[in-house]
Amino acid sequence: MNILKLTTGAVAASVIAAAAFAHGGATGIVKERMDGMSAMKDSMKVLTPMMQGKVPYDAATVRREAEKIGRHAGESLTKLFPEGTAGKPSEAKPEIWQDWDTFSDLAEQLHTYAEGLALAADNGLMMAGSGQGAGMMGGGSMMGSGMMTGGGAMMGSGMMGGVPGREELSEMPADGVFMMLSQACSACHTRFRSE
């Protein structure tokens, strides 16, 4: 009986230790934000092959994963970055707090695009069935180079003078909205995340 208790206790301690050291030993709010980023990354892993035409398109899955991303974006994201939470094990660069307006704008763009993608899910892919969707997505510039300029710059400066609204996004093909969403992710990571 004592051996069973010891074994059970050791297993429980191992599980707790493994959970505590996930994300390089992060705890508290740093672990919470890393978990949120992981959830968004998992959603992107589901959506990317679908948007590239590598797996069948499913509007319900697109909507579900977009909603998951949306739950971790915007204010839900920025509230997880209080001052003083940089440094190991965090991958957040100090530039987040030095350029808070840009960081929070990108977090809001991500939220808007996630909501827009959920609304556009029933629109399907721009090039559905043409065989061109995967090539266009894979090239990194679906709607022309005028929309984005090098290194993950913020969306909107060349397209419509700003971030499209939810209504505009809801009328677009899902892969077009997804491209904007992924560019917002990339812009934020390029500027504010240590690799």
pLDDT single digits (tens) 95-153: 999 999 999 999 999 999 999 999 999 999 997 544 333 333 333 333 332 333 333 33
Rounded percentage of the chain residues whose pLDDT exceeds 90: 60
Q: Does residue 152 belong to any structural domain of this protein?
A: yes
CATH of residue 172: 1.20.120.10
Report phi then psi at 172, rounded to 5. -90, 160
The overall average pLDDT reported for the chain is 78
Closest by CA position to 111, among listed 82, 83, 78 = 78
Q: Does residue 22 belong to any structural domain of this protein?
A: no
pLDDT of residue 20: 41
Q: Does residue 14 belong to any structural domain of this protein?
A: no
What would the pLDDT profile of 161-181 be if each residue is shown by its tens digit? 578 998 999 999 999 999 999
Pairwise CA distance, residues 8 & 26, whole Å: 25
CA atoms within 13 A on the CB side of 38: 8
Domain housing 120: 28-192
Q: Does residue 8 belong to any structural domain of this protein?
A: no
Q: Which amino acid is at 38?
A: S
Banded pLDDT at 36 (limits 50, 70, 90)? very high
3-state helix, strand, coil in the chain (%, to 5): 65, 0, 35
CB 67 within 8 A of CB 181: no
Q: How many domains does the structure of the chain reveal?
A: 1
Q: Does residue 178 belong to any structural domain of this protein?
A: yes
Contacts of 92-95 spanning 24+ positions with Cβ under 8 A: 92/33, 92/192, 92/193, 92/194, 93/191, 93/192, 93/193, 93/194, 95/191, 95/192
For residue 3, count CB atoms less than 10 angstroms from its CB and return exposed for 0-12, middle for 13-18, buried for 19 or more: exposed
Q: Does residue 3 belong to any structural domain of this protein?
A: no
Q: Does residue 172 belong to any structural domain of this protein?
A: yes
User: What pTM, to 2 d.p., does this model score?
Assistant: 0.73
Q: Look-up: residue for tokens 């990108």? A: 106
Q: Does residue 16 belong to any structural domain of this protein?
A: no
